[in-house]
Structure 1
Amino acid sequence: MPKLNLHQRDYVSFLGGELSADQLEQTLRPNLGRSSLRLTPSPYLTDKNVDKRWSVLESLTDKSQLLDATTEQQKEVYAINIEHFIGTVKLPVGVAGPLRVNGLFANEDYLIPLATTEAALVASYNRGSQLITAAGGASAMLLNEGVTRTPGFAFHSLKEAGQFVAWVVTQYDTFKQIAESTTSHGKLTDINVNIEGNHVYLVFEYLTGDASGQNMVTIATNAVFEFIMEHTPVDPDYAFLDGNLSGDKKPNAHSLRSVRGKKVTAEVHLTKELVEKYLHTTPEKMVQFGQMTTVGGALSGTIGINAHYANALAALYIACGQDAACVAESAVGMTRMEINKSGGLYASVTLPNIMVGTVGGGTGLPSQNACLDILGLHGNGKSQALAEVAAALCLAGELSIVGAFCAGHFSRAHHKLARK
């Protein structure tokens, strides 16, 4: 094999120069040989299937690191959350706080479990949480809720697309009855129609109770989709259950002004003295940082402006049994900092795509259930509070990281905590 030239940027030319055309073709061509790494084809979690998988894997790694005694004893609880189960992965969990939240639904002091392998992360959120609490807490408000699924239909012409839409808009009550017959918690609240040439996208929006709701809305919309395909007066050339207009697990500009999941805004007023005591900088410098990074974000084409919502949300989601892939959309939002009337710092965050639930999904698994119990937010009637806590946590992180950059402590903290 050729040695990797760290200064080489054109890797195609590099490979072409080191390998003959025949060698390159042989290296890259498909290998149709049968793999020796064959596992049981059944995805289900049974003792027999787990044993079959480990008969292959034990030669590759230490089984006890993934299938320890506790996991072995509890493995049945994972049956509806995973396919081809082989064990569990342990992540370090830290706790930040107390974080005081004065919200419509979250209204107390919270200890926040965060699962991460990134040094300095929990320390940063702990500092921001204590600062907010010292200021009397963050005000938080749930603004909107809704989870979407967006079937797409392709027709021969715009005329056929229009005829299809003319029928669809008469069917809302029927669609609502069909969708809600698949779930005891979900409610179909709206259907928006988008026509793009001879394509029609239907945006089905639901309330999903205390569940995050992605599976719920998929099943409900699929039932409506099947009804449409059977009863539409204008047959589409082709159609799919989702036309990628929902923004599911992708950052997108549409939901920045709308909602997918739960839209929450949170704010705090900090005195100059608190900023100096906890962050070792000034409100003026933090505002200057915000101005410069807002322009930088615009230059880079960022959707929304924030320092690092993804850190808080990924750590919280993993600890509390949320769908970690939803961080891709949940981390879209706006951070703003200004000098307030008393010369202190006003800071706010607005996150339109917080995808959290307190029932269903991974929330009932042993470790994740325990983390939600630390928050006091496991079970029915708690998802709105969890969303407000998530927004306040992001606010704590924004204050801490901006303060660290302004005080020149960002690199020092990582050096101190990550390099023992």
Structure 2
Amino acid sequence: MPKLNLDSARNRSALSDMESSQKLQSALEPKYHPAAKKLCLSAGLTDKHLKRRWHVLESLTNKDLLLDPFTQSHSQAYANNIEHFIGTVNVPVGIAGPLRINGSFANDDFLVPLATTEAALVASYHRGANLITAAGGASVLLISEGVSRTPVFGFQTLAEAAQFVSWVVTQYDAFRKEAESTTTHGKLKDINVSIEGNHVYLVFEYVTGDASGQNMVTIATHKVFHYILQNSPVTPTDAFLDGNLSGDKKANSHTLRSVRGKKVSAEVTIPANLVEKYLHTTPESMVKFGEMNTVGGLLSGSIGINAHYANALTALYIACGQDAACVAESAVGITRMDVDTNGNLYASVTLPNIMVGTVGGGTGLPTQKACLDILGLHGNGKAKALAEVAAGLCLAGELSIVGAFCADHFSRAHHKLARKK
């Protein structure tokens, strides 16, 4: 049996303060005395509740930093987006572009707002965007879309599970009617069945219009879920609204070949002279870097291969009122680079899980709507275009960061931009 090595640097830093077992036990045991800092019970957003919260918080920080005049004047706009509201956090927003997208839904030169506290990030995407635009733009295609919720049902035996599935496959029209009775925009697209012993997972897949759709599909599936419980010829021993098969807010390999949200692929071919001008390297060096990093990604157990989709998507999602936690799944994808027969650089990205919307969620909040307005992508009919812009932005970031490593500029850029003082 492996032994705990207290001499290792890792354990030494974590356990060096462990003077005695009595002290450790005292530190870790449950404490049942009343909490010293107690907030009001209501999660509502009213002036009364806001005052009660700040009565506790004013001794801890400057109220004006979180509850500035702009936030106070727009506070009711946040009522459907937050509980126990106390104010807003200002995140710096930069602009990258123009980024030329030649897409099936997005076809324009876009100025892209990015919210981040990471120095060098916006500069990198700005450089990549300008390179793509100089090369004629990125060709971008939205391939498919769908958002899923996956209830699970347990039975006594495999035979009962099979009997349940035999009934389920006859119920598509009934399930669709129940699901679509809860929404004017969502449509039930498909149902897949996965049997694991005496457990049955049902994958309900929807298209959700211009909303990212996670709440929409949850409410719709909840209606179907209770229809199943009331009408199934076999009574489940256990049943839960979600069985963790959807990949919601988790990186997963399944969606590399399917979709969660919007699946988009983008490509660009860049002449070697533009690679040299903008990135100070060669197509051959960038391809070799990609090959060696693909192996490194495989050795690390990476799902998909990319340099840093998460940087682009997090900054875009925060700026534009998206659910930032969806970056966990959205940042899965594949970047690939080749040298074509003319010595030009071919680069592509494929992202199967872009979770974006242009209505609902946080998209209508004042500053988030302002960022979507910069893109020209707020409101109905714009979500597919936003997904294509997101993929093009990721392509810009891949080109820029790979170029920086190949030219040995990566560390220099961070040193120059993050340590100006």
**What is the SS of the residue equivalent to 2:195?**
strand
Corresponding residue of 1:385: 385
Per-residue deviation, residues 304-337 of structure 1 (Å, max 9, x unmatched): 0000000000000000000000000000000000
Corresponding residue of 1:191: 191
Q: Tell me, in whole angstroms, the C-alpha distance in 2 between the residues paired with 1:13 and 1:267.
A: 47
Q: Tell me, in whole angstroms, the C-alpha distance in 1 between the residues paired with 2:377 and 2:309.
A: 21
Deviation, structure 1 residue 29: 0.3
5 Å-filtered alignment, 1:166-205, equals 166-205=166-205
Corresponding residue of 2:85: 85
Corresponding residue of 1:10: 11
Per-residue deviation, residues 52-103 of structure 1 (Å, max 9, x unmatched): 0000000000000000001001000000000000000000000000000000
Corresponding residue of 1:264: 264
5 Å-filtered alignment, 1:8-407, equals 8-10=9-11, 14=15, 18-407=18-407
**What is the SS of the residue equivalent to 1:9?**
helix
Q: Tell me, in whole angstroms, the C-alpha distance in 1 between the residues paired with 2:108 and 2:20.
A: 68
Deviation, structure 1 residue 18: 3.7
Q: Tell me, in whole angstroms, the C-alpha distance in 1 between the residues paired with 2:214 and 2:337.
A: 33
Q: Is the 8 A contact 1:155 1:237 kept in 2?
A: yes
Deviation, structure 1 residue 13: 8.8
Per-residue deviation, residues 148-198 of structure 1 (Å, max 9, x unmatched): 000011111101100111111111101100000000100001000000000
Q: Which runs of 5+ in 1 are unaligned?
A: none
**What is the SS of the residue equivalent to 2:159?**
helix
**Identical-residue share of aligned pairs (%):** 71
Per-residue deviation, residues 13-63 of structure 1 (Å, max 9, x unmatched): 935x84222221111100111101111111110110001000000000000
Q: Is the 8 A contact 1:261 1:353 kept in 2?
A: yes
Deviation, structure 1 residue 11: 5.1
Q: Is the 8 A contact 1:8 1:14 kept in 2?
A: no
One-letter amino acid of the counterpart of residue 332, structure 1: V
Q: Is the 8 A contact 1:145 1:263 kept in 2?
A: yes
Q: Is the 8 A contact 2:18 2:24 kept in 1?
A: no
Per-residue deviation, residues 118-153 of structure 1 (Å, max 9, x unmatched): 000000000000000000000000000000000011
Q: Tell me, in whole angstroms, the C-alpha distance in 1 between the residues paired with 2:68 and 2:14.
A: 48
Per-residue deviation, residues 350-387 of structure 1 (Å, max 9, x unmatched): 00000000000000000000000000000000000000
Q: Tell me, in whole angstroms, the C-alpha distance in 2 between the residues paired with 1:21 and 1:261.
A: 50
Deviation, structure 1 residue 230: 1.4
Q: Tell me, in whole angstroms, the C-alpha distance in 1 between the residues paired with 2:155 and 2:183.
A: 31
Corresponding residue of 2:3: none
Q: Is the 8 A contact 1:261 1:356 kept in 2?
A: yes
TM-score w.r.t. length of structure 2: 0.97
Deviation, structure 1 residue 6: 11
One-letter amino acid of the counterpart of residue 59, structure 1: S
**What is the SS of the residue equivalent to 2:10?**
coil
TM-score w.r.t. length of structure 1: 0.97
Q: Tell me, in whole angstroms, the C-alpha distance in 2 between the residues paired with 1:298 and 1:110.
A: 34
Aligned-pair RMSD on alpha carbons?
A: 1.3
Q: Is the 8 A contact 2:281 2:403 kept in 1?
A: yes
Deviation, structure 1 residue 393: 0.3
Q: Is the 8 A contact 2:321 2:362 kept in 1?
A: yes
Q: Which runs of 5+ in 2 are unaligned?
A: 1-5
Deviation, structure 1 residue 229: 1.0
Residue range with higher mean Cα deviation, 288-297 or 17-26: 17-26
Q: Tell me, in whole angstroms, the C-alpha distance in 2 between the residues paired with 1:244 and 1:305.
A: 23
Per-residue deviation, residues 227-261 of structure 1 (Å, max 9, x unmatched): 11111111111111000000000000000000000
Q: Tell me, in whole angstroms, the C-alpha distance in 1 between the residues paired with 2:86 and 2:293.
A: 44
Q: Tell me, in whole angstroms, the C-alpha distance in 1 between the residues paired with 2:401 and 2:126.
A: 11
Alignment: residue pair count: 415
Q: Tell me, in whole angstroms, the C-alpha distance in 1 between the residues paired with 2:189 and 2:18.
A: 61
